[in-house]
Amino acid sequence: MNKILLIIQREYLSRVKKKSFLVLTFLVPVLFIGMFAILGYLAVKGDDLGDDKKVQVIDMSGEFAGKFVNSPTITYVYSTDNYDSAKAHFIDNGYNFLLHIPPASSGAEIELLSEKKPSATTIDAVENNLSRIAESRRLKLAGIDTAVLAQAQKRITVKAKQITAAGEKDAQTYTAYAIGFLSAFLIYMCLFIYGTQVMRGVIEEKVSRIVEVIISSVKPFQLMLGKIIGVGMVGLTQFLLWIVISVALSMVGGSMMASKMSQSGQVQQVQQSMAAAKGANNVKTPDKGMSAIMESIESIPVVYTISCFLFYFLFGYLLYSAIFAAVGSAVDNETETQQFMIPVTLPLIFTFALAQSFIINNPDSSLSVWLSMIPFTSPIAMMIRIPFGVPAWQLALSMLLLVLGFVFTTWVAARIYRVGILMYGKKASYKELARWFMYKE
């Protein structure tokens, strides 16, 4: 036991002292928060940041004149110029595009001319404008009041509620979607990242022949187990630091933003806008939106969700790292690992792909339940299901099977590892791995 602890200590300290570990630990939260801040800023100010585009409209049909609606980035200018003349000089006259609408009787297509290729958003904006005008005209010709039609097409919203032993409560379906997908994604990524670290560490020690010295003092199983647990502890440490740093940066950023808004007088403007909005009917005010977000967050069973996440991350990592260690012991370089990596990682890739389309929409289906029970797929499948509510017996059975799967997989991997770690210069095959597994002590 003391030897395993020494190996764990060595693997842990050798990695957390690296500059790459420290840089990634502090840089990843900054990059993520910065990325979301930029995305949020672009979502709010996107229209203001885009280049203004001017479109000269030559309407030879007479059906669209003066009916185009300008957007923050596109301005339509109706013109009675000759088409050939406008086509030759629209760029010189300061226009980015020329929209040519031929007579309806000609059967010709509507054209959007420009010097450079137009963006997809510009084409969509022009098409939407044309479609809206044409639709309104057809409805009027049919004697249909567009105002009445718009009222009839008003979207109906449904408030989803869940019946529990304590009574009714908001279902918070979209919150469950977000938590389930994020948890599954983190586990999916970390199993690959830290499992690959174990495999690379085994390959490096094998190629450098250091392992021959280490094996003289410890058993192969002790070496493999110590390496797996040590790297796993590095992963947990990095996770906890990411959470602490992200929360700290978010609080500092929020306080700085509030202070800046207070100094510039924007807080009073926001409060006045909110007060004015409250007087209008059917208007969602900012405070209601914020209260809805806070209500969604408060509805999350934080301790339960984090506990389940840590369990499935830890034992999922232990299970797959044992396999990665066995693969690393069977090869002499990373190039040779490809033949073994595809079968090993296929359950993870398959489950994650299925989680985005099927499991997240059918968390209680038979396929979802079975995938959440199988040890090789349960870390992802069960974390998708947990936010939607999982029966206690299913969760307990899934955890038990995952622990048993880890024990069995580690035993199998150790029997391959003990032989493969000392094999050099021979390309291993599945038949060779089976022979190693059958070797007696």
Q: Map out the domains of the chain as residue ranges.
A: 51-152, 172-246+299-438
CA-nearest of 52, 45, 48 to 73 is: 52
pLDDT of residue 398: 94
Q: How many helices (H) and strands (E) does the chain have?
A: 16, 6
pLDDT at 81: 81
Helix%, strand%, coil% for the chain, nearest 5 = 70, 5, 25
Distance CA 171, CA 91 (A): 55
Give residue-wise pLDDT tens across range 45-100.
655 555 688 888 888 888 887 888 888 788 888 888 888 888 888 888 888 898 88
DSSP-derived 3-state class of residue 45: helix
- Tokens at 80, concatenated: 């009675």
What does the DSSP assignment read for 100-145? EE--GGG-PPPEEEESSPPPHHHHHHHHHHHHHHHHHHHHHHTT--
Residue 286 is predicted with a pLDDT of 43
pLDDT at 277: 47
Helix, strand, or coil (residue 56) = strand
**pLDDT for position 14:** 82
Give me 56's structure tokens: 């000269």
CATH class given for the domain over 51-152:
alpha beta
Q: pTM for the complete prediction?
A: 0.67
- The list of the chain residues with pLDDT below 50 reads 267, 270, 274, 277-290, 293
Return the DSSP state at 315.
Answer: H
**From CA 67, how far away is CA 78, in angstroms rounded?**
9
What's residue 404's pLDDT? 94
Among candidates 302, 331, 289, 357, which has minimal Cα distance to 420?
Answer: 331
pLDDT at 265 (0 to 100): 54
β-bridge partners, 56: 77, 98
Looking at residue 378, what is its pLDDT? 92
- Name the burial class of residue 413, with classes exposed (0-12), middle (13-18) and buried (19+) by CB atoms within 10 angstroms of its CB: buried
